[in-house]
Chain A
């Protein structure tokens, strides 16, 4: 089954992180990505620019409206994701628990819907 792992972190904390800590985190992420490529779980994944760069788009009565930033004020913001292929939810949780961001923020594991 395919699962999308959505990584939520406090992006202000991420932004003000001292340089050595940032480098350490990057190293942890590349090591993790490497390990799930090797185990065959990895299908894709990326880090995102902060929500200050986000634009929200809506269409109402055929009119496009765009607004600055994400919709809701939350403590943690979506900062990156992995698409993984896992045997079942237990396997997916096992992978998600090793994502470095899970230690400071949280990872939402969502099964990908398959349309018959």
Chain B
């Protein structure tokens, strides 16, 4: 085989399998950094070996076993002065060799182990996100830093600290036991959801969305559903697909925010909506549906409606009622209030939002004031609408959202 062909094949295997290889090497070597170096050594060795001997029948197995030997070599070379490291090398060598020849078996477990370890609740929320994007998705530190508007050194340090804690605090490389699975799965789903949200509605900056991050979150969601098809994992994937299906309609060609009721629904991604709706049905039919599945069901009702007026608002209110019983939060209450406003008129919705704000909840949440302002506007209470939009504006840092509020304010002021 020519060098060029081998190089292409290696790139292909890197894209499709490098995370699987890494996940298994972490298990075999017991150390994230050592595993990462071993994986790169193995890919580097592949170029020479595969050009000489041809591409092996199971490239993944070849890479895992080569990586393992490279790591032992590496430890040995550094071990001349250090008996403790030599001991580690010996124990890795003595451990049961990897049975990666039986296609797939065991390897998928390693990817689940990697996900659960990166999302371990003993790690800080920021660290979980950074580590998951780095190790599970294989994003470069610079890419992650850019997506979250932090400096690469800060992000690199966050990842180093997380790896250090995994090693020193003894966070195991394990899929949690059945009795802990549901709470640990929640932590994983939360990480994926946060990544998606940052992509879907960037918390700050010049653009409304960061499609690279929502795409990464959806890939993670798919992987999780494939490895562990729990109802809430399915529900979260459905939720992300349904929200993301509206992405093209959420901004105008010049980058301005377009609200749901004004969106051009022909721009919605129909294929993604059908996939999302089918997943919602699958999640709900398990009868163990949780908050993600219920939110996905709401998104499905929006996605299937021709316009805002013919949307099934009574059923949306009903879904929010169930959601509130399951997982009460002021944000869910706010969403329910907005649905009530559509079902029973703006005055009914406004009364509920005022009650939430009067309790002091959501006092720093710009969407609460935007929602209030919109209902006041629709009721012709111009002065109240202006005051609420001004409050919302003071709480918003994202440029397109700010411009949207400013446009609404200008309209109202010209009317006042």
Using a CB–CB cutoff of 8 Å, the interface residues on chain A facing chain B are 1, 3, 86-90, 92-93, 111, 113, 116
Give the complex CA separation of A116 and B86 in angstroms: 13
Q: Which residue from chain B places its CB closest to the CB of A110 in the assembled complex?
A: B169
In residues 142-197 of chain B, which contact A (Cβ within 8 Å)? 168-172, 174, 176-177, 180
Establish whether residues A89 and B84, one from each chain, have CB atoms under 8 Å apart when the complex forms.
Answer: no
Q: Report the 9 A-B pairs with minimum CB-CB distance, sorted nearest first.
A: A88-B172, A88-B170, A1-B170, A89-B170, A89-B171, A111-B169, A89-B169, A116-B84, A90-B172
Give the complex CA separation of A113 and B169 in angstroms: 9
Q: Which residue from chain A places its CB closest to the CB of B180 in the assembled complex?
A: A90
Write out the residue numbers on chain B whose beta carbons fall within 8 Å of the beta carbon of A90. 171-172, 174, 176-177, 180
B122 at the interface (CB under 8 A from A): yes
Give the complex CA separation of A1 and B122 in angstroms: 16
Q: How many A-B residue pairs have CB under 8 A?
A: 27
Write out the residue numbers on chain B whose beta carbons fall within 8 Å of the beta carbon of A92. 170
Least Cβ–Cβ distance between A113 and chain B, in angstroms = 8
Give the complex CA separation of A116 and B82 in angstroms: 10
Least Cβ–Cβ distance between B115 and chain A, in angstroms = 15
Q: Which residue from chain B places its CB closest to the CB of A94 in the assembled complex?
A: B180
Name, among B122, B170, B174, the residue most crowded by chain A CB atoms within 10 Å (CB to CB): B170
Instruction: Give the number of residues in B that approach A within 8 Å (Cβ atoms).
Output: 12
Least Cβ–Cβ distance between B76 and chain A, in angstroms = 18
Give the complex CA separation of A7 and B177 in angstroms: 26
Q: Which residue from chain A places its CB closest to the CB of B122 in the assembled complex?
A: A89
Give the complex CA separation of A90 and B169 in angstroms: 10
**With A111-B169, A116-B84 given, can you name 11 additional A-B contacts, CB distance below 8 Å?**
A1-B170, A3-B170, A86-B170, A88-B171, A88-B174, A89-B120, A89-B122, A89-B169, A90-B174, A93-B122, A113-B168
Question: What are 7 residue pairs bridging A and B, where the CB atoms are less than 8 Å apart in the complex?
Answer: A3-B170, A89-B172, A90-B171, A90-B180, A111-B169, A113-B168, A116-B84
Q: A89-B122, A90-B176, A93-B122 are in contact. Are A111 and B170 (CB under 8 A)?
A: yes
Least Cβ–Cβ distance between B118 and chain A, in angstroms = 14
Q: Mark B108-132, 1 if CB is under 8 A from A, else 0.
A: 0000000000001010000000000
Give the complex CA separation of A93 and B180 in angstroms: 11
Q: Mark B358-390, 1 if CB is under 8 A from A, else 0.
A: 000000000000000000000000000000000
Least Cβ–Cβ distance between A115 and chain B, in angstroms = 11
Name, among A3, A87, A111, the residue most crowded by chain B CB atoms within 10 Å (CB to CB): A111
Give the complex CA separation of A18 and B170 in angstroms: 39
Name, among A90, A92, A113, the residue most crowded by chain B CB atoms within 10 Å (CB to CB): A90
In residues 291-316 of chain B, which contact A (Cβ within 8 Å)? none
Write out the residue numbers on chain A whose beta carbons fall within 8 Å of the beta carbon of B177. 90
Least Cβ–Cβ distance between A75 and chain B, in angstroms = 22
Write out the residue numbers on chain A whose beta carbons fall within 8 Å of the beta carbon of B180. 90
Write out the residue numbers on chain B whose beta carbons fall within 8 Å of the beta carbon of A93. 122
Name, among B84, B169, B171, the residue most crowded by chain A CB atoms within 10 Å (CB to CB): B169
